[in-house]
Amino acid sequence: MRGALAGLGTPQPFGRRLPAIYGTDELTGRLLAAFDEVLAPVHSTLDNLAAYLDPRLAPHDFVDWLASWVAAETAPGWTLEQRRTAVANAVALHRMRGTARGLAEQVRTVFGVWPEINESGGAAWSSTPGGPLPGSAVPALTVTVRVSDPGLVPSARLRALVEANRPAHVPCVLRVVVEGDEKPEGGDNAAL
């Protein structure tokens, strides 16, 4: 696609690099001009490489490739701006992976809703040795997503996202609750 830019020049034409005796030869000039035309997109890409690697500036077809490089979570039908934001935030989200906040951010990024996350773990300090430990001894995680329309959050896609981003050793219960309705979608909890 970028190879078909009409009139794209090169900053260093081959004709300038020839000894003076060949600079006046018309055939040599035409042959080298053909090489310049073929290699101009390569020079342009290399000169602008930083823009290709910046998700805010990259061409639209390159943004999806960048998303695969950084394992950015995207959803079908996203706009170009949503995909650019997902790529830009991917590293920060990977840094928080396996935490309640990281899981909540992933769900918010992909589905646009903020989930309620209840986990059994905890961290605290005490000046008294042998004090009570926070949380529960049995690991557990419950992810509740409240939506007005259950079609906005496909259960299979949500389940796959939570499964990929939750702590691997913690069993998880996933609930999709329709607002105004106290029963989860499907009538019961979906355990992961």
What is the tally of structural domains in the chain?
2
Reply yes or no on whether the pLDDT at 75 is more than 80.
no
Q: Within a domain: residue 31?
A: yes
- This prediction has a pTM of 0.64
pLDDT in tens, 151-166: 888 888 899 989 988 8
Give the pLDDT score at 54.
Answer: 93
Residues 71 and 62: their CA atoms lie apart, in Å, by: 14
Residues 116 and 101: their CA atoms lie apart, in Å, by: 10
Picking from 44, 56, 111, 72, the residue whose alpha carbon sits closest to that of residue 64 is 72
User: Considering the chain, what percentage of its residues have pLDDT values greater than 70?
Assistant: 91
Give the pLDDT score at 83.
Answer: 92
SS3 154: coil
Q: In terms of domains, do 43 and 104 share one? A: no
Segment 114-118 mean pLDDT: 92
Q: Within a domain: residue 157?
A: yes
Picking from 141, 139, 138, 153, the residue whose alpha carbon sits closest to that of residue 184 is 153
* DSSP structure string for 11-51: SS-GGGGS-HHHHT-HHHHHHHHHHHHHHHHHHHHHHTHHH
List, in sequence order, the alpha helices (H) in 112-165: 155-165
Q: Within a domain: residue 75?
A: no
Reply yes or no on whether the pLDDT at 111 is more than 90.
no
Look at the alpha carbons of 97, 50, 85, 75 in this order and tell me if their dihedral is positive or negative.
negative
Q: In terms of domains, do 104 and 191 share one? A: yes
Q: Which domain holds residue 28?
A: 14-47
